[in-house]
Amino acid sequence: MPAANVHGDGLHLQLSGADVNFLAATCRMPGIIVLAAAAPFRAIFVDEFPDSLRPRAIYIAGETGHAWAASMVCPCGCGDMIQLNLLPQVRPCWQVETHEDGTVSIAPSVWRQQGCRSHFFVRRGRIDWC
């Protein structure tokens, strides 16, 4: 069963594989656009953040085994850069888990209090909107 969330000015449906193919083949309603699932977010390890971030990448800054911050382009499309603290002694604090396939999970959720006010989880490289 696909998940449906209202975000910003539209309805977002999280679909995959067969669901996308079915909708693309059968949905011919004006104003309805079916988009394929996007590539997952992947980890890029850096000493410091670059001036320009690539979309669908989560940059993890630090030294071997000691990450202190993560950064990404906001997945809502606003283009803002999100920076997350990974140091447990400083609040708020997030935890980043990198998986064998290069995808990333972030906990707890990311909830922007300014700007676009997006609220989402990153789970195995996928965005789950709240």
Q: Could you report the per-residue pLDDT of 49-107, keeping only the tens digit for each?
A: 999 999 999 999 998 779 999 999 999 999 999 999 999 999 999 999 999 999 999 99
Q: Which residue range(s) make up the domain with 111?
A: 39-129
Report percent pLDDT > 90 for the chain: 68
Q: Are residues 27 and 48 in the same domain?
A: no
Are 72 and 90 contained in the same domain? Answer: yes
Could you tell me if 46 and 71 lie in one domain? yes
Structure-model confidence comparison of residues 33 and 91, the more confident one: 91
Residues 27 and 86 in one domain: no
Do 59 and 24 fall into the same domain?
Answer: no
Same structural domain for residues 88 and 28? no
Tell me if 87 sits within 8 A of 93, measured CB to CB: yes
Q: By C-alpha distance, which of 22, 118, 103, 24 is closest to 60?
A: 103
- What does the alpha-carbon distance between residue 130 and residue 127 come to, in Å, rounded to a whole number? 9
Tell me how many domains the chain contains: 2
Separation between Cα atoms, residue 11 and residue 105, nearest integer Å: 24
Q: Please state, rounded to an integer, the average pLDDT across all residues of the chain.
A: 83
82 with 123, same domain?
yes
Quote the CA–CA distance of 73 and 50 in Å, as a whole number.
12
Check: CB of residue 80 under 8 Å from CB of residue 116: yes
Q: Are residues 121 and 57 in the same domain?
A: yes
